[in-house]
Amino acid sequence: MALAAPEVLTFEALEGGDWDALIVIGPNFSELDSDYQAAIQNAKMFDASVGETLSVLSCEVAPGNRLLLAPTGPLDRDYDDVRRFYDAAREAVARVAASGAKKPALMVTAVPTGALWNKALASAYFGFNQGNYESLEAREHHGDDVEPFATVGVVGNVDPSFVKSIEAGRRVARDICGTEPERMSPKRAAEYCQEAFAGTSVSVQVIDDRMQLEHEYPLLCAVARASFEVEKQLPAVVRLEFEGEGPIEESIFLVGKGITYDTGGADLKTGGHMAGMSRDKGGAAAVAGFVKALAGLNPKGVKVVAELAFVRNNIDNFAFVADEIITGRSGVRVRIGNTDAEGRLVMADPLAKLTEEAVSATNPSLYTIATLTGHAALAKGPYAALVPNKPAMSKGYVQRILDAGESWGDGVELSPSRREDFDFIRGRTKADDVLSSNNGPSATTVRGHQFPMAFLVAVAGLDKHGQNSDTPLPYTHIDIAGSGVEGGNWQHGKPSASPVIALAGAFLDK
Ligand SMILES: [Zn+2]
């Protein structure tokens, strides 16, 4: 795998190396040395837009004589944040490549003071990698050099192993999320994980035996029912485990929705709404990405268990249908409301299993990550929605992720869980305990992205682990339907790897 790994440089080291361009990102360029100022003034004589727009200019003191100015725009408005550096770096990639540079170095300038701007250089590095990334299909067809750059220098103060590990995780997340449904079928997603974690201290277990799946994950198997006849579409649960050295101080349990293709099932997606549904595995992708980031850092005292539910939501004669009542792993009877609300079904049993394990773990917290609802995309735009239970609020887990998202520039927002969400999913008859979904589109359903969290709580048995129980378990559901791909464009947008940076910032930045 090609990786734009950072070499962290001092400014002086730039001159001695074989770097061939310097990219400077900032709201203005007035803090640069006088030699750079002279080059900028010279260039401005024939192009007044230099420094106001993305500009490449000749500069004798710059490596390769190439200076690239990438303005962030103003940073002093109430709504500006560190993502301005990310965006400017991402947008610079194509221009730097077009200039002929092969080995650029990146620096930031005129960064505002204050805690919210401390990660400007790291954010620029992540943005540059985002712009440099090409899909797995493109790399396998054209070769790794379809990506413009194999390396980038970072001038200034970042922890190279930390940002490099996060970026390795984001790369895994983008690959799993973005790849088309045949190349990233459940089986091949499992193989990808085995490869991605080979040689690390993360163990990978692939659960793909039908008997075992039906025993452990009955709701997941309902969704998979129309896939068991097709060898290459068989479901697989990938279990990732990591246990850091020393006494365990924190245990993190994650479940990812990995719908490798979502036809909607018997509630078929019609009217052109199916395209892009190979990306319905973005939650599993993000979980794998977070674990990959962790694998690069080997943190002491941390235990992580993750289950990725890779399933294709198909339609055929065997397909499950609305009105069926299916008993989940926890014993809760689920009335199917709509087969296109399949993500909560594939996650509920793994979440029930990890809840059982979390009860005896040290300082546990649980997460589900999913491209779950159009409602989240509408309500939150490019921000991941965090829907926590009370223990996750009171023990500070959600605040950790919110704070990390702000400082590292990976947008997350709070969506409190409310009583109406639990009313919404309650069983309507004595024949069932909960209803999986209503029948309208989530985007036009009141509290459409919050109520699925209530469903997951009820079906996983987490309702027995609330604030007032003997064993409260912090749990947060994370809906990335708006944040998982650039521009919210599920068919063509580049996967964003949301919320890998926020989670890494919250749990791995020691
Ligand atoms: Zn669906």
pLDDT in tens, 20-47: 999 999 999 999 999 999 999 999 999 9
- Give the distance (Å) from ligand 1 centre to CA of residue 273: 10
The model's pLDDT over 233-259, given as tens digits with 9 standing for 90+, comes to: 999 999 999 999 999 999 999 999 999
Average pLDDT, rounded, for the chain? 95
Distance 364 CA to ligand 1 centre (A): 30
Catalytic residue of the set 103, 139, 269, 390: 269
Residue 116 scores a pLDDT above 60: yes
Cα of 252 from ligand 1 centre, angstroms:
27
| pLDDT band of 9, cuts 50, 70, 90 | low
Specify the higher pLDDT residue, 184 or 14: 184
Distances (CA, A) of 129 to 173, 262, 337, 382: 13, 29, 41, 19
| Nearby residues for ligand 1 (ion, Cβ within 5 Å) | 262, 340, 342
- Residues 83, 409: Cα–Cα separation, whole Å: 5
Q: Are 242 and 252 in contact (CB under 8 A)?
A: no
243/173 Cα distance (integer angstroms): 21
Query: In the CATH hierarchy, which fold is given to the domain comprising 5-158?
Result: Leucine Aminopeptidase, subunit E; domain 1 (3.40.220)
168-320+339-361+371-424+441-459+466-471+482-507 CATH pick, 3.40.630.10, 1.10.2020.10, 3.40.50.12170, 3.40.50.2300:
3.40.630.10
Angle, vertex CA 3, rays to CA 277 and CA 143, nearest 5: 70
**419 is an active site residue:** no
pLDDT confidence tier of residue 4, bands split at 50, 70 and 90:
very low
According to the model, what pLDDT value does residue 11 have? 60
Q: What is the mean pLDDT of residues 423-428?
A: 96
Q: From ligand 1's centre to the CA of 88, what distance in Å?
A: 34
135, two tokens? 């899909």
pLDDT at site 1 = 39
pLDDT digits 0-9 by tens, 286-334: 999 999 999 999 999 999 999 999 999 999 999 999 999 999 999 999 9
Q: Which residues pair with 242 in a beta bridge?
A: 304
Task: Give the distance (Å) from ligand 1 centre to CA of residue 338.
Answer: 9
Note the pLDDT tens digit of each residue in 465-505: 999 999 999 999 999 999 999 999 999 999 999 999 999 99
pLDDT at position 443? 85
474 CA distance to ligand 1 middle (Å): 27
| 95 is known as an active-site residue | no
What is the per-residue pLDDT for 17? Answer: 78
Q: For the chain, what are the domain ranges?
A: 5-158, 168-320+339-361+371-424+441-459+466-471+482-507
> Does the pLDDT value for residue 228 go beyond 80?
yes
Any residues with CB less than 8 A from the CB of 217 and at least 6 apart, and which? 237, 309, 329, 346, 349, 350, 353
Higher pLDDT, 67 or 153: 67
8 Å CB contact between 411 and 482: no
From the candidates 257, 344, 380, 400, which is the catalytic residue? 344
- Give distance in angstroms: CA of 99 to centre of ligand 1: 44
User: Helices (DSSP H) in 133-260: which residue ranges?
Assistant: 136-142, 160-178, 186-196, 210-216, 218-224
The angle that helices 160-178 and 500-507 make with each other, rounded to 10 degrees, is 140
Ligand 1 centre to CA of 119 (Å) is: 36
Residue 278: which pLDDT band, with cuts at 50, 70 and 90? very high
pLDDT at 3: 45
